[in-house]
Structures are given as structure tokens and as C-alpha cells.
């Protein structure tokens, strides 16, 4: 039960969040019904009010255990009965409706004052196709962009776009979600563009930002590089001198595999496809998934060592 409460956000405020009662310590307010008065849900067209934290907790449990919405409702009702608490549980239609309008989900991160070594990558997620027994051959998908802290393994920024969005165009959007200054930015060759170098250069907090992006095989030095593109020239010279494989090791670019490991963890624990059918719901869904992965990272990560 302790791990469940940590992962889902269920805590001392949950009773107030699920009911239509009073004000919780987290700051949200709900109306208190008078003793003996009819509940709004009993009126024609009336709906019971739930705080965003209650909807987020229910949807988190749904994603952790890979449950449909109806089973999520039943699971929460059984959980409340086992705990012998009188908690009003949102039904599956409420969860589906509130998912699309859920406010911005904040990623849970450990506080730090150090500059971040940022790792960036993207992957595809399949879109829900309904009850088709055989999915279409050209199945539609979305592109998930992730930015990971190399030291802690936490997801610090994420975004969901259409499949036609180029990877490099989303880097400024990801960097806007990060408050701390950057020490370095690592990404694969798809991010080798001037816009990426310029965006990273302005996030150093007065210090130079090391940008580790392998240029193309036939990349040429810029004749009059800007302060940001000097990093690209530096990478080209180092690769010509050391070779691409040795540059991966000596520069620290090989640490970029951690963001690929994060993508693997996402698809193994959350899934390769999204359950929501609307784009707004899908964006909230992937944001919740990133928050779940960060909670699991805080609980503990294995120490890996090379043995051969």
C-alpha cells in the first residue's frame, strides 16, 4: 500500500479530494453539503464535483495497472471498501471527461541547484484505434519528445506532437520547461541544426553550454561561426582527429544511452500505445506517464556494472 500511495499520489488529502467536502491542505476548495440536504448528483443533470488531484490519482492508478476506465472505477471502489472509508468514487464517464480538461500536470522532481546535463530524444507512440480486431496497416502515431537529467535519470521536460514534426524544432519548447541552467545538451544527429545550438547556448546561466550532437559524415566547418555554432565546429574537429567512436567515449556523448533507456522503460511500464482518442487527452496521458516514471525513479534505480 505504501508504494501504491507514492506512485498514485494518494495521501492524507485524498479523502477531501474525492469527496465534495471542505478545503484540503493543498489549497483546492469544494462545496460542503448541508446535513440532510440532497446531493447535487441526485438532481437531474447534476454532477458530483471532484478536485483535479482526485482525477489525477485515479488516472495514475489506471495507467500503472493498465486498467480500462470501468475497471479503474471498480478497483477504487473495492479499495475504499477494504480500507473501510466512505469515499465517493468518480465513475468512468467522469474520468474520461475530466482527462481532457485536466490542468497542467507538474512533473515531480528532486530540488537541485546544479546545472543540468540534458539528454534529449524522441519516440513514436501508437494511437488508439477502437475495437478493430486487426489494426490498419498504416496506423497513425504521435511523436513523444523527452528531456532527461543525466545525473538523476528524471524526466525534466516532455512534449507530444504529430508524427510530421521534426525533432529539432521541439528543443526550444522542451528547454522552456526547465528552470535550472544547463551544463550540456546531448542528442543524436537528427538534432544537428542551428536552432538547437542557439537554443542551448542561451540557457547556460552565464556559462558556456557544451552541445554534444554528432554532425553528419560530410559536415563542414562554419567559416564565420556564431558563439553557439562554435560548439559544432569543435565537434567536427574532434571527430576528425579522434574518430567518431573515440569521440563518443572521450566527450561523454555515450551517456546519451540513458535517455534511450528511459524510452524503453516508458514503453515497457506504460505501453507503446495511448488510450485516449483526443489529442488533448493524449497530451495529459503522456504527462502523467512521465510523472509516474519519475516517482518510480525516486523509489530506487538499480546499479548496473559491466562484468565482461
| Model pLDDT for residues 95-132, shown as the tens digit of each residue | 999 998 887 888 878 878 889 999 999 999 998 766 66
pTM recorded for the entire structure: 0.79
Half-sphere exposure of 125 (CA within 13 A, CB side): 31
Count of other CB atoms within 10 angstroms of residue 207 = 11
Parts of the chain belonging to CATH 3.30.420: 116-299
Instruction: Report the topology of domain 116-299.
Output: Nucleotidyltransferase; domain 5 (3.30.420)
Encode pLDDT of 18-64 as tens digits: 554 443 443 334 444 444 444 555 555 555 578 899 999 999 999 99
Encode pLDDT of 61-81 as tens digits: 999 999 999 999 999 999 999
Alpha-carbon gap, residue 289 to 270, rounded angstroms: 7
Which residues, 6+ apart, have CB-to-CB distance to 244 below 8 Å? 214
Encode pLDDT of 180-235 as tens digits: 999 999 999 999 999 999 999 989 888 899 999 999 888 899 888 888 899 999 99
Amino acid at each position: 500500500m505504501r508504494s501504491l500511495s507514492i506512485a498514485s499520489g494518494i495521501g492524507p488529502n485524498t479523502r477531501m479530494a474525492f469527496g465534495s467536502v471542505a478545503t484540503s491542505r493543498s489549497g483546492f476548495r469544494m462545496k460542503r453539503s448541508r446535513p440532510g440536504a440532497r446531493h447535487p448528483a441526485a438532481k437531474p443533470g447534476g454532477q458530483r464535483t471532484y478536485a483535479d488531484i482526485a482525477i489525477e490519482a485515479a488516472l495514475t492508478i489506471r495507467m500503472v495497472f493498465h486498467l480500462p476506465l470501468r475497471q479503474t472505477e471498480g478497483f477504487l471502489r473495492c479499495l475504499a471498501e477494504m480500507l473501510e472509508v466512505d469515499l465517493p468514487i468518480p465513475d468512468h464517464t467522469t474520468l474520461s471527461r475530466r482527462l481532457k480538461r485536466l490542468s497542467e500536470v507538474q512533473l515531480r522532481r528532486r530540488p537541485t541547484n546544479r546545472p543540468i546535463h540534458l539528454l534529449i530524444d524522441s519516440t513514436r507512440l501508437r494511437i488508439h484505434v477502437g475495437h478493430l480486431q486487426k489494426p490498419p496497416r498504416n496506423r497513425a502515431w504521435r511523436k513523444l519528445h523527452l528531456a532527461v537529467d543525466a545525473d538523476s535519470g528524471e524526466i525534466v521536460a516532455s512534449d507530444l506532437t504529430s508524427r510530421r514534426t521534426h525533432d529539432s524544432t521541439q528543443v526550444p519548447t522542451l528547454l522552456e520547461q526547465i528552470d535550472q541552467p544547463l551544463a550540456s545538451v546531448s542528442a543524436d544527429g537528427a538534432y544537428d541544426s542551428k536552432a538547437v545550438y542557439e537554443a542551448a547556448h542561451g540557457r547556460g546561466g552565464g556559462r558556456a553550454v557544451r552541445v554534444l550532437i554528432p554532425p553528419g559524415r560530410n559536415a563542414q566547418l562554419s567559416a564565420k561561426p556564431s558563439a553557439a555554432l562554435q560548439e559544432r565546429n569543435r565537434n567536427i574537429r574532434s571527430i576528425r582527429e579522434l574518430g567518431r567512436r573515440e569521440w563518443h567515449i572521450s566527450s561523454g556523448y555515450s551517456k546519451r544511452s540513458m535517455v534511450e533507456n528511459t524510452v524503453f522503460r516508458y514503453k515497457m511500464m506504460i505501453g507503446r500505445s495511448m488510450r485516449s482518442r483526443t489529442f488533448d487527452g493524449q497530451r495529459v496521458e503522456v504527462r502523467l506517464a512521465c510523472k509516474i516514471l519519475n516517482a518510480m525513479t525516486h523509489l530506487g534505480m538499480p546499479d548496473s556494472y559491466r562484468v565482461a
